[in-house]
Amino acid sequence: MALAFCILAVTASAAWAATCDTCDENFSKESGSGPYLITSAADLAKLRDCVNGDSTATPAVVPNPHNNVEFKLAPPAPATSITLTGQWMPIGYWRSDTDKAPFNGTFDGDHKTISGLNVLNEGAATNNSSLGLFGYVGEDGEVKNLRVQGTVVRINVDDTTGIGGIVGRNDGTVQGCSFSGAVQGPYYVGGVVGNNSGTVSECFNAGDIIGNRANGSSVGGVVGHNGNADQPGSAGKVLKCYNTGDITNTGSSTGGVVGRNFGSSKVEECYNTGHVAGPQFVGGVVGSNFSTGTEVKNCYNTGNVTRHATVNDSTTSASRGGVVGGNAGTVLYSYSHCEIVGIFNVGGVVGWNVRANYAGKVENCVSLTWMVNGNGPADGETVPSVLTNVGRVVGRNFSTGGSPVYGTLANNKARADMELRIRGVNHAGDMDPEEVKHDKRHGADVKTDESEEGADSLGDVFDGWAALVGEDSNSISKSLMV
């Protein structure tokens, strides 16, 4: 393995007073060919200063991405964690496409913990718009097997490219990581990764995630924005991840796992159990799946999806769904089992299945939600007109801009005893019988008992889950019948 050269200058952020020529002189090693060991907070700061460089030093310190260099978190036994003190400056940064310092090595947390993370960036714009333990992980970078506890907050700053509990902006790989604590910011806010165009897999968040800007967007339990907004066509992947924390956003695109799925990005085999609340495009798994190439597959949600406690959301684009809030891509083999509360475009699986002239697709999904609650209609509207925007599977399946555009629905089902409430009154009996079909908004009826008949009726939908959880589809179906 080639050695990475990291000439360092002494700065106020470095607690050590030394200048090194190679990583060998900065870090101990596990063995002759093993990874460099991060044994303390001071070691982590050394790595950070080497990656970021220092253009103000004399002579200037050039950022070093540590290509192909491996690091391992190794607090002295019997300790299983290291604790940071004071405010933390992230490892790596992204200021612009031409001004960035990625981490392109491998950081193996070895299933140990970094606690005491405290990143606070308040007020005017500063020199790093990507915040987390790591600010920017490049295309060849990897962070794995790491647990992080702490707080990452950004307030009153617009130039944000990612705010995450572990990684602000990821173009590489984040695998097997978890975060607990709190993350707050205006745009691209996630419990593990803020802005992702790489791969995030087998990660989870147990912290509270907050979007704090009324015109902000993309707030998710694990990933805020999947598919970098400034890289059209980028394809982020979020695989086998889950969230248990509460997600609250005052802006758009709020999801239990991913806030916004963009470009040709994928969210697969993920689930959420936390409460998700926001004013516009709110989903139990993904807030907005808003590109024709995006896909949400084999996902489920059991956390309630509701309105924000204080933000007015009485617009026709509010859109809340048990799995996806707004969809112009594809949603497959997914289900919800929760309570959903909104005004317009409220659905058991998807709130609104069309965006502008782009029609979404919802297939082989099941809504086991016990109640879809549309708090309308507005004064002067009739209940039947509002039921065009409240559905057991999809709330709204058309767009009225220009020529009407309709989404595609196929082989979807919903519990037969679900309540469709309008201003607290159950209007399920007012459903158009023609809409209670597998290719319509309300889906075909499915029994909600544990009989073989009830299980068989879901078997064709949940066959894909057998390999995922190691059980036959009938067992899975029965476990959902509650």
Q: How far apart are CA 331 and CA 285, in angstroms?
A: 11
DSSP state of 468: H
| DSSP codes of every residue in 333-352 | S-EE-SEEEESSSEESSEEE
Where is 48: in which H helix or E strand?
helix 41-52
Domain-by-domain residue ranges, the chain? 65-274, 282-446
Condensed to tens digits (0 to 9), the pLDDT of residues 403-425 reads 778 899 999 999 888 999 887 78
State in Å, rounded, how far the first CA of the chain is from the last one.
55
Cα–Cα distances (Å) from 323 to 35, 110, 206, 319, in that order, read 41, 33, 19, 11
Helices (H), 300-376: none
Q: How far apart are CA 232 and CA 263, in angstroms?
A: 6
Architecture of the domain whose range is 65-274: 3 Solenoid (2.160)
Phi/psi zone of residue 101: left (φ > 0), alpha (ψ -120 to 50 degrees), beta?
Answer: beta
**CB-based contact 92:51 (threshold 8 Å):** yes
How long, in residues, is the chain?
Answer: 482
Q: How far apart are CA 458 and CA 394, in angstroms?
A: 18
pLDDT of residue 241: 95
pLDDT of residue 425: 83
Pairing of strands 354-355, 358-359: antiparallel
Q: How far apart are CA 67 and CA 482, in angstroms?
A: 51
Where b means 16+ CB within 10 Å and e means fewer, 41-76 reads bebbbbbbbbbbbbeeeeeebebbbbeebbbbbbbe
Q: Residue 430: how many CB atoms within 10 A of its CB? A: 13
Per-residue pLDDT of the chain (482 residues; tens, 9 = 90+): 333 333 333 333 333 222 334 577 788 887 777 899 999 999 999 999 999 988 777 777 888 899 889 999 999 999 999 999 999 999 999 888 888 999 999 999 999 999 999 998 865 445 678 999 999 999 999 999 999 999 999 987 776 789 999 999 999 999 999 999 999 999 999 999 999 999 999 999 999 999 998 878 899 999 999 996 666 667 899 999 999 999 999 999 999 999 999 989 999 999 999 999 999 999 999 999 988 889 999 999 999 999 887 776 666 668 899 999 999 999 999 999 999 988 889 999 999 998 767 889 999 999 988 889 887 544 454 555 556 689 999 999 987 666 778 899 999 999 888 999 887 788 898 888 888 998 999 999 886 554 444 444 555 455 444 444 444 444 444 344 33
Helix (H, G, I), strand (E, B) or coil at 422: strand
Closest CA to 235 of 177, 174, 294, 285: 294
Backbone angles phi, psi at 476, to 5 degrees: -65, -45
